[in-house]
A and B are shown apart, each in its own frame.
Chain A
């Protein structure tokens, strides 16, 4: 049961890895590639801290074999904005105090990103449903929801409008 060579496209960069086929994308991202912004916790698709985007859709990297990610565009929290800059979602989370311990935040932001890409003007109820697969044990969710709504407004505003 040999290792296999994979080419993964992560944050618009190609990475070559030699991995066992039973390794999850989560494990390969963190252990082989050092992309530790994607978090580990329940390994059961309950908590959402391992959320990454695969071809723009949110998935639990803990239940996704790395071998199956081959040929797909993977986005992790590290690739959401250029180095040194913040994505409007990240900016809104900072400004509105939506982060406490922070462990759930990469997953929250990527789930929100996938949802806003498809639904640019969500209601509060829709934001809560969009984040149902992401648990937070600190904030009580209100500020997270507020931040996603604020980011949605900014992202949907015409360029140049204040």
Chain B
């Protein structure tokens, strides 16, 4: 006997109605690369699964200054989007290190966010880009910043009857660049030991930082921003000295754990190294694009 009943609504409205009807007994299915694993391991046991593949409007990548990613956009689609190869590059760098090709072909941005793994590879980039998710429920839609959306491992601000339909990223100023770096024990097929995304905007001289954002993955219950490090960079000349100070502040901002993949001390060390490297990379990119 099937463990769940399968539904395949053909409109957003029907999908929400099903979620409202079944509440916590229902799970949405996007790519399934997290959901099916959790189901098979008995960590979740939904009585109803609501497949999203026939719901229109969830697979688009729109770039018009600002960027909108539909919930069912795959890492594969992000990797191949030429419009994201410029200042939004950290998204491609996050997408291309998720699992193997087989997972990147079916996993989704929405799933990566809703699953809320502290080590999710797309999330630091989305945080650094000041992303916000749109949640649609029976009462209408609301927009929540990713910072407020992520509450803890596998916990988000999404209510059971709400569907995450898209992620919106504001337009980037001129002379802005981004980078994402991931450290694992091997290059592919790895859960991040640490992930760092940075976004840096240079002033007209290309020597000073106008604005900075740093997001850290796998070193706290959710991906987190290093606010103090960001503020310390603003207005400062870019270079080793400022970046070393920012890296130290980022190390203070994180709360890593010891686990089978790495010790907390090593994770903290990696945060320092990767923050400096990500900032260097942003400077190189912003200058070469100017």
Contacts and interface: CB of A to CB of B under 8 A. Distances in A.
Please provide the 7 A-B residue pairs with the shortest distance between their CB atoms, ordered closest to farther: A133-B100, A21-B6, A132-B188, A20-B2, A1-B2, A63-B36, A57-B105
A132 B100 contact: yes
Interface stretch (A64-72, A75-83, A86-94, A147-155): A64-72
23 contacts: A1-B5, A21-B49, A22-B49, A23-B2, A45-B33, A54-B105, A57-B101, A57-B105, A59-B102, A60-B33, A63-B36, A63-B37, A63-B106, A64-B32, A64-B106, A65-B29, A67-B6, A68-B29, A114-B101, A132-B188, A133-B100, A133-B188, A133-B189
B103 A133 contact: yes
A58 B101 contact: yes
A65 B32 contact: yes
A67 B101 contact: no
Interface in B1-18: 1-6, 8
A44 B105 CA distance: 15
Interface in B33-67: 33, 36-37, 39-40, 49, 51, 53
Contacts of A67: 6, 8, 51
A120 B2 CA distance: 42
Contacts of A45: 33, 37, 99-100, 102-103
A114 B106 CA distance: 14
B146 to A, nearest CB: 25
Interface string A85-125: 00000000000000000000000000100110000000000
A129 interface: yes
B4 A59 contact: no
B102 A51 contact: yes
B4 A22 contact: yes
Nearest to B6: A21
B2 A134 contact: no
A134 B102 CA distance: 9
Interface string B93-110: 000000111110110000
B76 A134 contact: no
Given A44-B37, A45-B37, A132-B189, A58 B105 contact: yes
Nearest to B5: A1
A17 interface: no
Given A21-B6, A24-B36, A65-B32, A1 B1 contact: yes
B100 A3 contact: no
A43 interface: yes
B108 to A, nearest CB: 13
Chain B interface residue count: which class? 20 to 34
A155 to B, nearest CB: 18
Contact of B100 (A1, A2, A24, A48): A48
A43 B33 CA distance: 11
A133 to B, nearest CB: 2
Nearest to A115: B101
A4 to B, nearest CB: 7
Contact of B188 (A43, A65, A129): A129
Nearest to B76: A57
Given A1-B5, A20-B1, A22-B4, A111 B102 contact: yes
A32 interface: no
- Kindly name the residue among B33, B106, B187 whose own CB sees the greatest number of chain A CB atoms within 10 A: B106
Given A45-B33, A63-B106, A64-B106, 5 more contacts: A21-B6, A59-B106, A60-B103, A111-B102, A132-B187
Contacts of B8: 67
Contacts of B1: 1, 20
A59 B189 contact: no
Interface string B74-105: 00100000000000000000000001111101
A134 B103 CA distance: 11
A141 B101 CA distance: 17
B257 to A, nearest CB: 22
A47 to B, nearest CB: 9
Nearest to B187: A132
A62 B100 CA distance: 14
Given A60-B103, A68-B32, A134-B100, A22 B39 contact: yes
